[in-house]
Amino acid sequence: MTQKVAVLGTGKIGEALLSGMIRAGWKPADLLVTARRPERADELRTRYGVTPVSNQDAAKTADILILTVKPQDMGALLDELAPHVPADRLIISGAAGIPTAFFEERLASGIPVVRVMTNTPALVDEAMSVISAGSHATAAHLAHAEEIFGGVGKTLRVPESQQDACTALSGSGPAYFFYLVEAMTDAGILLGLPRDKAHDLIVQSAIGAATMLRDSGEHPVRLRENVTSPAGTTINAIRELENHGVRAALIAALEAARDRSRELASGSKD
């Protein structure tokens, strides 16, 4: 933890990383941030004691650069950084859809790049961060990424060829659950419950179910069957989900998310 780390484009995810790193033992004096707006940079300095710098100064000073800007802004950022990034810097990209080759082609020859897809539960230290090595990244570089992202949740190494699928599953995954909770809350209101009570019932059920999935070691089919009595309420509900093609719709939705991740890699913004 003696290396300097810079977070470039410090939005919500970048801030979550900063706070997680500090809780994990990183010294604020070793953490640099860049932000588009000066008031945002001042806010981060006040809140965490980190040092705001320009993108160019971050490239010259930090040992590890974590790039958290939006995918459509990454090309412009790399054009700005390229003249200032030595080949011994570690680049960690958190941009959906952009392959490590995109960075390797635009920065110094041989520069190590690690691609990470995290998700918004980083804000509550429950992220799922998927880590892949570029062609010049070593096991030590992957360990650095795991050390950083492990401060805000769980990490998993995968081949880069699986990143688009992981983006569809876990990167976008929280939104699917929020969507489901929203729909179930509306159903609770339709069934006669006040919104606040419907919300509390569903959220706690979701937390309990997720904890069982994580801690029991049981297959989700077995856990579902444990709730599904013959001719009972649950099997009637599941029959309706199947009749309305919910399973097929979920599969199609994840395929669409994966395909969009691939489009982002090709430079499409439409």
- pLDDT tens digits for 31-78? 999 998 999 999 999 999 999 999 999 999 999 999 999 888 999 999
- Give me the average pLDDT of each 10-residue run along the chain (270 residues): 87 90 92 94 95 95 94 92 94 92 95 96 94 97 95 96 94 96 97 97 97 96 96 96 96 95 68
Amino acid at site 94 = G
What was the pLDDT predicted at 213?
96
What was the pLDDT predicted at 1?
52
Answer for the pair 130, 166: CB distance below 8 angstroms, yes or no: yes
- Three-state DSSP at 159 gives coil
Cα-flanking dihedrals φ and ψ of residue 51, to 5°?
-110, 115
What is the Cα–Cα distance from 129 to 167, expressed in whole angstroms? 10
Q: In this structure, are strands 51-52 and 64-67 parallel, antiparallel, or unpaired?
A: unpaired
What was the pLDDT predicted at 24?
87
Residues forming beta bridges with residue 7, ordered by sequence position? 33, 66
- Three-state DSSP at 16 gives helix
Sign of CA dihedral 257, 100, 22, 83: negative
Please report the beta strands in 174-227, taking only residues with DSSP state E, as ranges in sequence order: none
Residue reference for tokens 């159903």: 187
What was the pLDDT predicted at 89?
95
Residue 127, Cβ neighbours under 10 Å: how many?
A: 27
What is the Cα–Cα distance from 190 to 210, expressed in whole angstroms? 25
What was the pLDDT predicted at 79?
95
In the 8-state DSSP scheme, what is residue 245? Answer: T
Answer for the pair 113, 102: CB distance below 8 angstroms, yes or no: no
What was the pLDDT predicted at 72?
86
What is the Cα–Cα distance from 207 to 85, expressed in whole angstroms? 44
Cα-flanking dihedrals φ and ψ of residue 137, to 5°?
-85, 140
In the 8-state DSSP scheme, what is residue 89? Answer: P
Cα-flanking dihedrals φ and ψ of residue 116, to 5°?
-130, 130
Given strand 90-93, what is the order of strands in its sheet? 51-52, 31-34, 5-8, 64-67, 90-93, 113-117, 127-133, 153-157
- Three-state DSSP at 154 gives strand
Please report the beta strands in 221-263, taking only residues with DSSP state E, as ranges in sequence order: none
What was the pLDDT predicted at 267?
62
